[in-house]
Chains A and B, each alone.
Chain A
Amino acid sequence: MSRHEHTGGPAHAHGHDGYDADPTHRHPPRPDLEDTPLAYHQVMQMAVVSLLVEKGVVSADDMRAQIERMDALTPARGARLVARAWVDGGFRERLLADSKAAAAELGIDLGPIPILVMENTPETHNLVVCTLCSCYPRFLLGLPPDWYKSRSYRSRAVREPRRVLAEFGTDLDPDSRIRVHDSTADMRYMILPMRPAGTEGMSEEALARLVTRDSLIGVAVPRAG
């Protein structure tokens, strides 16, 4: 069952709160519940925020500003680092050794939590999971996808990574090895995928567009074109 199905009533085709009401949108919006009864924890959220605003703990502007900061964090940031590493071997070395300093060269702030960059090679494929919760390099990739937080992914990625990869359409050479990184504590991880064949001569910007979020988590690999 959907973990969210109890929170919502029927979807209405309104565009409240910035929603894209186009039914062909790639990720169908959930009903945002502006015109349905509120679920219990939504009421709780509104009440807690309003009390904290009254007490001066946070302000409505703080909330808006933080949501804007979060919305600005997208996998395009990780993709830029990867594309630069593909065209600049020195940058690649620096990214693997100290991602925060390397990202700063491109004006990208990796935030307070160390991010380790793990490099895929013809011999080794890397995959990231957080079995205990949902740790994710949000300063580089934004908020994690639903499946990353799911029971199925968290349970299976450490035990049967090849079958998990196959479900994402990623078939590895049986002789290559997998390193699964369980993000249990104070590190976060991003994968540096291999540059696809047939991309010689492509611009850095064009290369960055090949780098998908899923390839930065390690469940997929970038494809040329």
Chain B
Amino acid sequence: MNDARRHHDMGGLEAGAIDRGEHDKAPWEKRVDALMVLLGQRKILCVDELRRGIEELGADAYERYGYYERWMASMTNILLEKKIIEVGELGARMAEIESGRREALR
């Protein structure tokens, strides 16, 4: 029965003390949240799909990624699956942004 538990389904597991520290949401985190709300309103992506996509990132990513990193990874995968965006243009745009940022930091 243990084998059938999925990693995100954690109610009742042993776990340590609760870290009550909080951080103000970073601007990029708010943008991820806002994008999800807007895509939901446009019926492009629903929260159930977002959650399914997060679960499918796998146990390792679930633990390593921050909360909004999981959201972003899931949203992007689903937008690709739905052909709203395409792998080539996404990769090119990410490379452009990274090299632009590197230039700005020199």
Contact = CB atoms under 8 A, between A and B. Distances in A.
Interface in A108-156: 129, 131-134, 143, 145-147, 149-156
B26 interface: yes
Interface residue SS majority, chain B: helix
A27 B22 contact: yes
A180 B10 CA distance: 15
Interface residues of A, number: 64
B25 to A, nearest CB: 6
Contacts of B18: 147, 150, 152-153, 156, 164, 167-168
Contacts of B44: 57
A25 B102 CA distance: 31
A100 to B, nearest CB: 19
Interface centre among A3, A45, A131 (most CB of B within 10 A): A45
Interface string A83-110: 0000000000000000000000000000
Given A45-B32, A67-B31, A133 B19 contact: no
Contact of A146 (B22, B27, B94, B102): B22
A48 B10 contact: no
A143 B85 contact: no
Contacts of B84: 52, 55, 57
B30 A44 contact: no
A51 B23 contact: no
B44 to A, nearest CB: 7
Contacts of A55: 84-85
A19 B28 CA distance: 12
A7 B99 CA distance: 18
B97 to A, nearest CB: 5
Contacts of A45: 28, 31-32, 35, 72
Contacts of B23: 4, 27-30, 146
B38 A66 contact: yes
A63 B93 contact: no
Contact of A66 (B37, B76, B85): B37
Contacts of B42: 57-58
Nearest to A131: B11
B49 interface: no
A44 B94 contact: yes
Interface centre among A42, A48, A134, A168 (most CB of B within 10 A): A48
Contacts of A134: 67
Interface stretch (A33-41, A74-82, A193-201, A204-212): A33-41
Given A18-B27, A44-B76, A159-B12, 9 more contacts: A32-B28, A38-B98, A51-B85, A57-B42, A58-B42, A63-B38, A67-B30, A133-B54, A155-B12
Interface of A: 3-4, 6-7, 17-20, 25, 27-30, 32-33, 35, 37-39, 41-52, 55, 57-58, 62-63, 66-67, 70-71, 129, 131-134, 143, 145-147, 149-159, 164, 167-168, 182
14 contacts: A30-B24, A37-B105, A38-B101, A41-B73, A44-B94, A47-B90, A48-B79, A50-B97, A51-B93, A63-B31, A66-B34, A151-B10, A155-B15, A167-B18
